[in-house]
Structure 1
Amino acid sequence: MSQQTVATRQEPGTEGFLDRFFHLKEFGTTVPTEVMAGLTTFMVMAYILFVNPIILGNPDLPDQFPIRATATATALVAGVMTIIMGLATNRAYAIAPGMGLNAIVAFQLVGSMGLTMPQAMGVIVAEGLVITALVLLGIRQAVFNAIPTELKKAISVGIGLFILFIGLVNGGIVVADPATLVALGDLRGAPVFVTAFGLALTIALMARNVRGAILWGILGSTVAAIIAKAVTGTDAFAPGVAELPSQWIATPDFGTIGQFSFGFIAELGVLTAILVVFALMLSDFFDTMGTLIGVGSQAGYLNEKGELPQAQRALVVDSLAAVAGGAAGTSSATTYIESAAGVGVGGRTGLVAVVTGILFLLAMPLAPLVEVVPSQATAPALIIVGWMMMSVLSERETRTQDGRTIVGRAIDFANLEEGLPVVATMVMMPLTYNITNGIGAGFITWTLIKIFKGKFREVHPAMHIASLAFLVYFLRSYLGVEV
């Protein structure tokens, strides 16, 4: 009998099954390594359990998104869809409700456009169905390629600025001002102290390369808020917030599950509804493609051409995650760049994702703890995540042509064709609290400059159509278009 046969027989049953199912030996990894990688990925992503419910349930929308139910749904969607991703693709990608996408729901769809929570979730479901159809029809990549690289980066940066701005407002660092629109807030008092403490703590942990720095920053600043409220007796925090919870665990609240409606079409009008879904789709689109390639490169998934084999499976799961997020009432779920944390400690297979997903599901009973966290404690997380999303400006596109590697330059802001559309996209999002406005401004500016310079044919037909639609959207009141 060969030594290999003896080794196989001596292999523990469960470990042997996992090895065969996830092809651990082929990827040069082991069960303990994959489990530790799954725990690492969960730690760096767990901040979404606190941030997502607070963004969706901001003080202006207390009845639309109940904190406890939204926290349960966040953990449920992240858990189920991450497990599905691991089983369907055997890749270490993890999924959760997306930052930026949740801000669109709270501040644009519900806060600005006046949609109800079910109607806003209907937009998310519609966006997910559209992306799923594009993937199944094999044209998602074609649509992705139709958008200029500079605008892809600008959309990510604009959303990052939007999130960062929300963090500054939630933390009391930036306030409304009748003369200048915005101004520096009153830096005295417990709430701003909590934000400053949390931001300093998070930056310090990141500087020391501590895994889960954002999560530890949220927890640390929450403890600071509890102490500050107990010592000063301040009423700056709402009742029940920044106080030790009356219960630490509770039966999961599934009250938001299935709460979605396509009534947003009648509420917004067909044109606006289409453009909102389109803008949300673009926001989701580029994050996913960049994440799959970025994490895939680190994990060694890419082939010699820099392509991701069997990318279709991952794209289908990611698209269905958007549908699941909307159907569960927790915003669009997407693949997280934080998946790279698990890969960084040696994780390589879908077992990493399965472990991460199980940990998210186990976190569902902890929803009462989310109600304790003040918005000032999550403000540093928004500021840091916003900054992270802006890092694409420093990236350089690398591609191969005729056997030669070509490194593309970064955005040239002094170039009218590139710089002005990018700035229009980035600036309009935070200043108007509206992602659609930013994307529309960028598309129109890009197309008009190309036309003015006699480069009409250089613009993809899809860009011409989208720009015209956005132009009608902005001028609808003058054109008498009902939306």
Structure 2
Amino acid sequence: MFMEKLFKLQEHGTNVKTEIASGVTTFLAMVYILAVNPSILSAAGMNPTYIFTATCVSAGIATLCMAFFANYPVALASGMGLNAYFAYTVVPEIVKSGVTNAWQVALTAVFVEGIIFILLSLTNFREKLVNDIPSNLKHAITAGIGLFIAIVGLKNAGVVTGDKSTLIKFGSLGTPQVALALLGILIVAVLYHFNVKGYILLGILITWVLGMIAQATGWYVVNPKMDMYSLYPSFSFSSLIPKDGNIWKFDFAWAGNNLLQFAIITFSFLFVDIFDTVGTLIGVANNAGLLDENGNLQNAKGALLADAVGTVFGSIMGTSTVTSFVESTAGVANGGRTGLTSVTTAILFFISLFFSPIFLAIPSFATTPALVWVGLLMLQNIKEVDFSHDIADTVGAFLAIIMMPFTSSIASGIMWGMISWVILKVITGKAKDVKPVMWISFVLFALYAVKLAMAPAA
């Protein structure tokens, strides 16, 4: 049988029916990204219709790569956290320098990061890079990203808003966006408790439907000047045809003229991508019984290469970093064990190309429950952080966690977490604990910190 030879189904104790059902389950668990990603990246000035197409196609291609490069039941798409970093940190910082096409510069950084990741995936240096970063920092960075994503979601719905005295405050509960976003979070929590498949997507859709009811009753009033658009999807023949206009939209000139800043942006994308990928792959592979007797990933090179190729392809199409999704564990829990699960998920992403009117009509307040819930899941890594032992580990992890949400920058969290960790290791007489990767990171971030210090005050 063709499927048996290609994916070794019997060897993995599975069959075609189970694999296809598992692929559908994985898709339902992560399809919310098709609504969330255009919502987030459009804040960077990008066309949401083009982003939707890029998200679907890059997810499909990257997931197929995972199926055929590693035979893993793992699906990929534009990564949460990395897309928010792209839209809310990288692009605004570049805009400050007077660049009008800032999102093209950010895409360039994603492209370069993907190329570097491909090279690392073909060597053994990737393991050294992963192992030489202190575990406290790795877990703290993931937790910090979780808080960052949650705040982005709350801000998009107006649940938290700016305040001159306290910087931020609770929004107006009388507005439908705030009330429905908070209700949506509770809906997702209830669906999760009762193990409902596709609970995040379902939570988004229920919140959206409640929004349409609010519009029908006059509570939600359409006002484009206040960024309050109609919540009803608009169907037409032309809207069902995939559209893309962001292919190969790179700006290498700015990168060459601002090499240090571009290197920081690229390094931050790479750092988060690698650890997000490795952590997800190990978690999913462990649940699927794909780790060897020493706890190492089988076919690790193929899996990492699929992730890296997905990132490069995604940047060419016009979307942020593509990475492995932890939601793949939903398919594994359903019995998925091989790349056939991934093939199924990839096909569904391609089919989704023709449903853009639905996904693009979903308002940002309806995607808030997804962002907050993903933030909650990532914040759970804080349980693995040791705050009771080494002062460098303690302070480095703490700064990494708090700097991300409080400065609205993933890069700031990574930078100050690493800088403080190295400095405290040296001061406390433990310089021998600092591995080469950490020294390189320290020098890179220290140079950038000096540049920031010398820049004129805004």
TM-score by length of 2: 0.94
Matches within 5 A, 1:435-446: 435-446=410-421
Shift of residue 391, structure 1, vs aligned partner: 1.3
CA distance in 1, matches of 2:110, 2:214: 39
Contact 1:134 1:140 in 2 (8 A): yes
Q: Say which is worse superposed, 304-313 or 237-246, in terms of deviation.
A: 237-246
Of 222, 242, 253 in structure 2, the residue corresponding to residue 252 of structure 1 is 242
Matches within 5 A, 1:14-33: 16-33=1-18
Structure 1 SS opposite 2:240: coil
Shift of residue 274, structure 1, vs aligned partner: 1.0
Residue in structure 1 matched with residue 430 of structure 2 by the alignment: 455
Tell me the amino acid that sits aligned with residue 130 of structure 2.
F
CA distance in 1, matches of 2:252, 2:131: 29
Indicate how the Cα distance of structure 1 residues 263 and 135 shifts in structure 2: closer, same or farther if over 3 A, else same: same
Residue in structure 2 matched with residue 261 of structure 1 by the alignment: 251
Structure 1 SS opposite 2:113: helix
Residue in structure 2 matched with residue 71 of structure 1 by the alignment: 52
Tell me the amino acid that sits aligned with residue 404 of structure 2.
M
C-alpha distance after superposition, 1:133-157 (max 9, x if no partner): 1121321111111211111111111
Gapped runs of 5+ residues in structure 1? Answer: 1-15, 396-409
Tell me the amino acid that sits aligned with residue 135 of structure 1.
S
CA distance in 2, matches of 1:381, 1:175: 19
Residue in structure 2 matched with residue 417 of structure 1 by the alignment: 392
CA distance in 1, matches of 2:103, 2:62: 22
Contact 2:222 2:229 in 1 (8 A): no
CA distance in 1, matches of 2:33, 2:382: 24
Q: Say which is worse superposed, 174-183 or 256-265, in terms of deviation.
A: 256-265
Contact 2:76 2:324 in 1 (8 A): yes
Structure 1 SS opposite 2:77: strand
Q: Say which is worse superposed, 330-339 or 458-467, in terms of deviation.
A: 458-467
Tell me the amino acid that sits aligned with residue 155 of structure 1.
I
Indicate how the Cα distance of structure 1 residues 25 and 335 shifts in structure 2: closer, same or farther if over 3 A, else same: same
Tell me the amino acid that sits aligned with residue 272 of structure 1.
Q
Shift of residue 329, structure 1, vs aligned partner: 0.8
Residue in structure 1 matched with residue 124 of structure 2 by the alignment: 138
Matches within 5 A, 1:198-209: 198-209=184-195
Question: Is residue 235 from structure 1 mapped to residue 225 from structure 2 by the alignment?
Answer: no
Shift of residue 373, structure 1, vs aligned partner: 0.9
Tell me the amino acid that sits aligned with residue 436 of structure 1.
A
Tell me the amino acid that sits aligned with residue 48 of structure 1.
I
Residue in structure 2 matched with residue 400 of structure 1 by the alignment: none
Tell me the amino acid that sits aligned with residue 152 of structure 1.
K
Contact 2:233 2:357 in 1 (8 A): no
Indicate how the Cα distance of structure 1 residues 480 and 347 shifts in structure 2: closer, same or farther if over 3 A, else same: closer
Q: Which has the larger radius of gyration?
A: 1
Tell me the amino acid that sits aligned with residue 112 of structure 1.
E
CA distance in 2, matches of 1:141, 1:241: 49
Of 321, 329, 333 in structure 1, the residue corresponding to residue 318 of structure 2 is 329
CA distance in 2, matches of 1:236, 1:437: 36
Indicate how the Cα distance of structure 1 residues 462 and 25 shifts in structure 2: closer, same or farther if over 3 A, else same: closer
Matches within 5 A, 1:369-448: 369-395=358-384, 410-413=385-388, 415-448=390-423
Of 346, 354, 371 in structure 1, the residue corresponding to residue 343 of structure 2 is 354
Structure 1 SS opposite 2:212: helix
Tell me the amino acid that sits aligned with residue 206 of structure 1.
Y
Residue in structure 1 matched with residue 103 of structure 2 by the alignment: 117
Structure 2 SS opposite 1:182: strand
Shift of residue 236, structure 1, vs aligned partner: 5.5
Indicate how the Cα distance of structure 1 residues 100 and 264 shifts in structure 2: closer, same or farther if over 3 A, else same: farther
Gapped runs of 5+ residues in structure 2? Answer: 96-100
Residue in structure 2 matched with residue 42 of structure 1 by the alignment: 27
Of 62, 71, 88 in structure 2, the residue corresponding to residue 107 of structure 1 is 88
CA distance in 2, matches of 1:467, 1:381: 34
Shift of residue 367, structure 1, vs aligned partner: 1.1
Matches within 5 A, 1:301-340: 301-340=290-329
Shift of residue 312, structure 1, vs aligned partner: 0.6
Residue in structure 2 matched with residue 212 of structure 1 by the alignment: 198
Residue in structure 2 matched with residue 84 of structure 1 by the alignment: 65
Tell me the amino acid that sits aligned with residue 246 of structure 2.
T
Indicate how the Cα distance of structure 1 residues 239 and 253 shifts in structure 2: closer, same or farther if over 3 A, else same: farther
CA distance in 2, matches of 1:345, 1:163: 28
Structure 1 SS opposite 2:11: coil
CA distance in 2, matches of 1:471, 1:413: 27
Tell me the amino acid that sits aligned with residue 248 of structure 2.
G
Tell me the amino acid that sits aligned with residue 65 of structure 1.
M
Shift of residue 349, structure 1, vs aligned partner: 0.8
> Highest relative contact order (Cα 8 Å, sep 6+), 1 or 2?
2
Contact 1:123 1:264 in 2 (8 A): no
Contact 2:269 2:321 in 1 (8 A): no
Identical-residue share of aligned pairs (%): 37
Contact 1:241 1:371 in 2 (8 A): no
Contact 1:68 1:368 in 2 (8 A): no
CA distance in 2, matches of 1:263, 1:338: 38
CA distance in 1, matches of 2:418, 2:223: 42
CA distance in 2, matches of 1:282, 1:175: 30
TM-score by length of 1: 0.89
Matches within 5 A, 1:191-202: 191-202=177-188
CA distance in 2, matches of 1:261, 1:19: 45
CA distance in 2, matches of 1:310, 1:24: 16
Between Structure 1 and Structure 2, which shows a larger proportion of helix residues? 2
Of 155, 158, 168 in structure 2, the residue corresponding to residue 169 of structure 1 is 155
CA distance in 2, matches of 1:480, 1:394: 38
Tell me the amino acid that sits aligned with residue 412 of structure 2.
N
Shift of residue 276, structure 1, vs aligned partner: 1.4
Shift of residue 247, structure 1, vs aligned partner: 3.4
Number of residues of Structure 1 aligned to a counterpart in Structure 2: 447
Contact 1:122 1:263 in 2 (8 A): no
Structure 1 SS opposite 2:168: strand
Indicate how the Cα distance of structure 1 residues 415 and 226 shifts in structure 2: closer, same or farther if over 3 A, else same: same
